[in-house]
Amino acid sequence: MKAIKIGKKIQVYSTLPSSYSGKKHYIGGFQHLSDSELENEGFFDVENPDYDSSIQELGALSFDADKNKYVYAVKDKTWADSLAELKAQKVAKIKAQAIMHLSSTDWYVTRQAEGIKDVPSDILAVRKSIRDKADAAETAVGKYTKKSDVVKYQISLI
């Protein structure tokens, strides 16, 4: 990606145009110019920063003279929900995921409750593992003191 500052606005190009009228007039082949020729026309690379989109967002684009390229500011997201509300939402997702995973074997438990046939031990082990992981996930979420940690927490029960 390349960008150029035109007046007070920075124009970003994912693909350079084939024609351009700047210091020189290019009828075709502008996109094939060397980096130094493009820089002479005011086009510089755009740095794609590493950031975690779940807790950060891209800010303004500006030219960094030290890097000789345009860079995005990366800023932390803010959440209107309180820490307690975010924790409650995450716990609800954990419970929903546990219910979803357990539901595929619920019929074994129903069959046993109706006195038809015992639940196979391997099924009981899988169900216990899901419940144990859900409990551990809820405990982990409960210990967080920062909103960003709660938001970043990934649920994996299987």
Tell me what pLDDT residue 128 has. 97
CB 150 within 8 A of CB 55: no
Residue 158 lies in a domain: no
Tell me what pLDDT residue 158 has. 83
Give Cα 68 distance to the centre of its chain: 28
- Give me the domain span that covers residue 46: 2-76
Q: How much is the average pLDDT of 113-123? A: 95
16 and 35 belong to one structural domain: yes
Q: How much is the average pLDDT of 117-140? A: 97
**Residues contacting residue 63 through CB under 8 Å, at least 6 positions apart:** 5, 10, 44, 69, 70, 71
Whole-number average pLDDT of the chain: 96
Residue 157 lies in a domain: no
Tell me what pLDDT residue 97 has. 96
Q: Which of 43, 76, 109 is the last residue of a domain?
A: 76
The single-letter code of the amino acid at 127 is R
Q: Does the pLDDT at position 35 exceed 90?
A: yes
Q: Which of 32, 51, 76 is the last residue of a domain?
A: 76
Using left for φ > 0, alpha for ψ between -120 and 50, and beta otherwise, residue 42 falls in left
116 and 58 belong to one structural domain: no
59 and 106 belong to one structural domain: no
- Per-residue pLDDT of 59-77, as tens digits, reads 999 999 999 999 999 999 9
110 and 54 belong to one structural domain: no
117 and 148 belong to one structural domain: yes
